[in-house]
C-alpha cells in the first residue's frame, strides 16, 4: 500500500467516525429531543472553523465486555474553533457511546483540551451530556473526574469557563459545572443532581422525578446553580455565543469593545417618569438598565433566582460593563442571603475578567427575619462586602433613591472603595428611614407630647431636613456629584472612560480568606 492509498484509507476512516457507525443511536438521540455532539459543535462555532484533535483515541480497558467495544473518540469530541472570529476551546460528550460516561481515555482527552485552553489563553466551553463515571472502569474513571476538577480550579479567573448542560449530569460529574463561571441548561432534556431520584427515594422516602429533583427550572429559580435556562439547544448555543462576545479571552486582556450607533450623550428623559419619587412605590430596575445601556440590550444572569437584585452584562459607549442593581419590585430591593450570594459571585466574576462595575442603588436594608439571621445573613452579606472591597476594576455607584444602613455600605459605597459615586436629586442616604430614625432618636419626646402623632410627624420632617436631604452626602464628600437622572448614561460613560486605565496595587498575599 502506497502513501496515496494510506491517505485515502485515513480519509475514509475519519469520515466514518464523523458520520457515526450506529445510525440507530443517532435516531435515538434525536428522538429524545437532543442533538449529537458534532451538531452542537457546529452550532457553537463559526462555520468551518472547528479543528478536532484525538479523533482516533480509543480506550484500553478490559473486562465487562469493554474490550469488544472500543469506538473511536471514546465518547467525547474535543477541539477548538472560532466564535465571532475569536479562538474558543470545547469538548462535547457523545451520548451515543457509553451514554457519554467518562472513562480513563475520555478523561485524558478532556484534560488535554483544558490544558490547551489555559495555555493558549482562550475560553473553554463544555457541552455536557453524560451518565457520569464509566462504572466498568472503576477508580480510573473517578481519577479522571479529579483531574477535571483540579483543572477547573486552576483555570478559574484565568480563562472564562462555560458549562452547557444538554443532558443528564449526575454524581461527581455535577461538580465540574459548579466550578465554572456560567452554567446553561435546557428545559426537559437536562438535569443535574448529586444523588438521583431512586437513591433519594430509598434513603429519605421522598418521591421526586428527575425533572423535579434537578431540572433546569429547579436550578434556575431555587438552587441558583443554573445561570441561564433555554427551551431548546439552538437558542441555548446562540446565547453561549452572545455571552462569549462580552467576555475577554483571558484575564490579561480587556473585554472586546463594540461600536454602537447609540449616542454617548443620549439623554434618558424616560427615567424621570420611570422611578417614583415616593420611596415606598416599586418599579422595575431592569427598565432603568434598559434605558441606560447601549441600544437597550443586556444579558441578565440568574434572572429567576434571588430576583431582589439584578446582575447583568451589557455595554456603555461600546465598553462591556457589569451592572448590579437592587430590584424594588421584589422584596422592596432588600438584600437577603440569596441576593448577597448572587451579587457577590457576579462582582468576583467581573473583577476576575477586568469588567468595570456599575452599581445602581435603591436599597432599604437587609431583609429582616429570624430565618435570615439563623441561616447566616451576616456571613452571606459579608460575601458581597468582601467581593466589592476586593475588586480592583473601575467601580461607579449611582444612588437612585434610598440607601439605608449597612446595605448602603455594602452596595459599593465610597467608604469601601468605589471610584466615583453619583446620586439623583431624590436620594436618601441614612442609617435608616426617617420614620424609624425619629422613633428611636426622639422616643422620649414623642411619648411625653400632648399629641404624640403630630409631634412624631414634625420630628420626622426635622430629621429628614437635617440629615437626609439630597445634598447631605455630597457636602461630606461621600457622593461626588448629584446629577440629573436624564444625564446618567453620559455621566457613566465619561466616568468609565476616565477609569479605563485604572491600576490598583494589592498587598502581597497568597490569597484572602473570604466568608463562606
In three-state secondary structure terms, 205 is coil
Helix pair 377-390, 337-352: axis angle to 10 deg: 20
Residue tagged active-site, from 171, 376, 417, 426: 171
CA–chain centroid gap for 329, Å, is 21
- How many angstroms separate the first and last alpha carbons of the chain? 64
Residue tagged active-site, from 61, 122, 141, 407: 407
Q: How many residues does the structure list for the chain?
A: 516
Residue tagged active-site, from 130, 132, 172, 433: 172
C-alpha torsion 287→291→295→299, nearest 10: -40
Residue with cell 441561564: 228
> DSSP labels for 223-253?
I---SEEESSHHHHHHHHHHHHHTS-SSTTS
Of the candidates 313, 307, 362, 368, which has an alpha carbon nearest to the alpha carbon of residue 339? 307
Strand partners, 423: 399, 482
Could you confirm whether 172 is annotated as catalytic? yes
- The three state secondary structure string of 433-457 is CHHHHHHHHCHHHHHHCCCHHHHHH
Could you confirm whether 138 is annotated as catalytic? no
**What number of helices (H) and strands (E) belong to the chain?**
21, 17
Strands 76-83 and 86-93: antiparallel
Residue tagged active-site, from 406, 417, 426, 436: 406
User: What's the rounded Cα separation, in Å, for the pair 255 and 152?
Assistant: 21
Task: Give the H/E segment covering residue 131.
Answer: none
Cβ atoms < 10 Å from Cβ of 196:
17
Please list the active-site residues. 171-172, 406-407
Amino acid at each position: 500500500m502506497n502513501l496515496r492509498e494510506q491517505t485515502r484509507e485515513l480519509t475514509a476512516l475519519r469520515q466514518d467516525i464523523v458520520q457515526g457507525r450506529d445510525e440507530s443511536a443517532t435516531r435515538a438521540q434525536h428522538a429524545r429531543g437532543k442533538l449529537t455532539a458534532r451538531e452542537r459543535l457546529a452550532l457553537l462555532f463559526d462555520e468551518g472553523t472547528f479543528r478536532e484533535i484525538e479523533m482516533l483515541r480509543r480506550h484500553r480497558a478490559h473486562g465487562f465486555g469493554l474490550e469488544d467495544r472500543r469506538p473511536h473518540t471514546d465518547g467525547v469530541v474535543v477541539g477548538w474553533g472560532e466564535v465571532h472570529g475569536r479562538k474558543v476551546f470545547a469538548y462535547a460528550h457523545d451520548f451515543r457511546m457509553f451514554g457519554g460516561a467518562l472513562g480513563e481515555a475520555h478523561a485524558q482527552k478532556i484534560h488535554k483540551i483544558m490544558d490547551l485552553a489555559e495555555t493558549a489563553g482562550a475560553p473553554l466551553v463544555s457541552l455536557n451530556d453524560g451518565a457520569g463515571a464509566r462504572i466498568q472502569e472503576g477508580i480510573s474513571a473517578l481519577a479522571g473526574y479529579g483531574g477535571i476538577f483540579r483543572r477547573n480550579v486552576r483555570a478559574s479567573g484565568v480563562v472564562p469557563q462555560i458549562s452547557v448542560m444538554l443532558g443528564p449530569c449526575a454524581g461527581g460529574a455535577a461538580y465540574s459545572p459548579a466550578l465554572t463561571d456560567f452554567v446553561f441548561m435546557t428545559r426537559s432534556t437536562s438535569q443535574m443532581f448529586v444523588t438521583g431520584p431512586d437513591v433519594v427515594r430509598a434513603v429519605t422516602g421522598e418521591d421526586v422525578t428527575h425533572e423535579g429533583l434537578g431540572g433546569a427550572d429547579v436550578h434556575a429559580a431555587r438552587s441558583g446553580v443554573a445561570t441561564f435556562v433555554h427551551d431548546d439547544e439552538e437558542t441555548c448555543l446562540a446565547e453561549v455565543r452572545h455571552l462569549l462576545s462580552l467576555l475577554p479571552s483571558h484575564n490579561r486582556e480587556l473585554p472586546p469593545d463594540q461600536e454602537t450607533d447609540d449616542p454617548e450623550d443620549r439623554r434618558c428623559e424616560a427615567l424621570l417618569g420611570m422611578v417614583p419619587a415616593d420611596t415606598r412605590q416599586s418599579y422595575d430596575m431592569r427598565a432603568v438598565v434598559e434605558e441606560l445601556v447601549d441600544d437597550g440590550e443586556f444579558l441578565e444572569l440568574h434572572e429567576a433566582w434571588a430576583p431582589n437584585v439584578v446582575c447583568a452584562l451589557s455595554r456603555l459607549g461600546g465598553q462591556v460593563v457589569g451592572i448590579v442593581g437592587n430590584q424594588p419590585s421584589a422584596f422592596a430591593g432588600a438584600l437577603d442571603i440569596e441576593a448577597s450570594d448572587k451579587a457577590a459571585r457576579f462582582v468576583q466574576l467581573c473583577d476576575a475578567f477586568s469588567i468595570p462595575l456599575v452599581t445602581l442603588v435603591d436599597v432599604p436594608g437587609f431583609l429582616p427575619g429570624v430565618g435570615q439571621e439563623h441561616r447566616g445573613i451576616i456571613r452571606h452579606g459579608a460575601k458581597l462586602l468582601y467581593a466589592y472591597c476586593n475588586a480592583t476594576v473601575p467601580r461607579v455607584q449611582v444612588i437612585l433613591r434610598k440607601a439605608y444602613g449597612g446595605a448602603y455600605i455594602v452596595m459599593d459605597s465610597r467608604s469601601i472603595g468605589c471610584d466615583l459615586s453619583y446620586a439623583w436629586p431624590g436620594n436618601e442616604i441614612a442609617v435608616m428611614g426617617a420614620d424609624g430614625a425619629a422613633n428611636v432618636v426622639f422616643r422620649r419626646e414623642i411619648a411625653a407630647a400632648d399629641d404624640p402623632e403630630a409631634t412624631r410627624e414634625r420630628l420626622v420632617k426635622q430629621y429628614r431636613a437635617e440629615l437626609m436631604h439630597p445634598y447631605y452626602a455630597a457636602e461630606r464628600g461621600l457622593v461626588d456629584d448629584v446629577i440629573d437622572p436624564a444625564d446618567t448614561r453620559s455621566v457613566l460613560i465619561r466616568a468609565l472612560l476616565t477609569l479605563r486605565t485604572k491600576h490598583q496595587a494589592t498587598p502581597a498575599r497568597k490569597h484572602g480568606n473570604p466568608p463562606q
